Amino acid sequence: MLQLVIPAYNEQGRLPRTLRELRRHLRDQRSMARPVEVIVVDNASTDGTAVVARAADSPAMRVRVVDCWTPGKGAAVRAGIAVTDAPVVGFMDADGATRLDALEEAFRRLALGADLAIGSRGAEGAQTETRHSWVRERGARTYRACTARVVPGVVDTQCGFKLMAGDLGRQVFADLRTTGFSFDVEVLARAQALGARIDEFPVTWTDVPGSTFDPIRHGAGSFGSLAMIALRTRRDRRAVPATALPVPVPALSSVAAEA
C-alpha cells in the first residue's frame, strides 16, 4: 500500500485537476502497486480546499483530509506523514507539476534498494517547462549551491515529489523542525545521517501558475531556515552514532501483492 500526502493551502482551484489526473493514472497503470490512499492536508486554507478534496474520495482512490493549523508546507507534510501506517509513503504537490509516471519510477527505485526515491529537475534527462522570473531562477541556483553543502550528492532537494520507506519516513518526519519550504533539505539530511540510500531520478516537470511561493516574501526565510538546518545537521552528525535503518522498504512485488 502507498499513502501519498498532498499539502494544500488555498488549492481549491488546482487540486481537483491534480486528483482527477492521479486517479486516472492509477486506473490506467496496472503495474502500480495498489491500493493507494491520498492524504490531503488542509493547511489552514480559507477557501474550499477541504471540500473539493473530500469530493474526490472514491472506491478507486481513497482521499482523506487532515487539518494542519500550523502554517507552512513542512508542517503540513509532517502532519500528513504522522497519520500514515503504510509500508511506502510519500508526498507530491497540489499543483501536479511533476508528471505522474514518476510514481512507477520511484517504486522501481525502492524495489531495487533505495530508501528514498526523489524526483529531480536537475538530474540528467529531466525535462522542465518554467515560467519563473530571472529573480527566482537566480535565487534557485544560489539555493541549490547552498543545499549541496548540507545534502551532498543531491542536485535538486526541492522538487515536490518523493517516495520513501514508510518506517523511515515516519522516523525522519517525527523530529522535523522546519515548517516552511526548506523542510525537504532537513528530511534528506536526516535520512543521510541515518545512512539511508537516496536515489535521485529525472522527472518531467511543468510550472503551474498559482504557486504560493513568493521569492520576495519567502526567499529570505528559506535561506534562514537552510542555515539553521546546516547547523543542526552538523551537530546531529557529531552526536548520533551510525545506527541501523528502520525496517527496510519491502520489494515492489510484495507491496503489489498486498493490493
For the chain, the structural domain boundaries read 2-243
Least confident of 8-17, 22-31, 94-103, 138-147: 138-147
Task: Give me the DSSP letters along 177-208.
Answer: ---STTHHHHHHHHHHHTT--EEEEE-EEE--
Q: Mean per-residue pLDDT for 132-143?
A: 67
The answer to whether 203 touches 100, Cβ cutoff 8 Å, is no
Please state which CATH number belongs to domain 2-243. 3.90.550.10
Q: What is the pTM of this model?
A: 0.84
115: confidence class by pLDDT, cuts 50, 70, 90: very high
Peptide bond into 7 cis (omega under 30): no
Give the pLDDT score at 134: 57
Confidence of residue 240 (pLDDT cuts 50, 70, 90): low
pLDDT digits (tens, 9 = 90+) for 74-106: 999 999 999 999 999 999 999 999 999 999 999
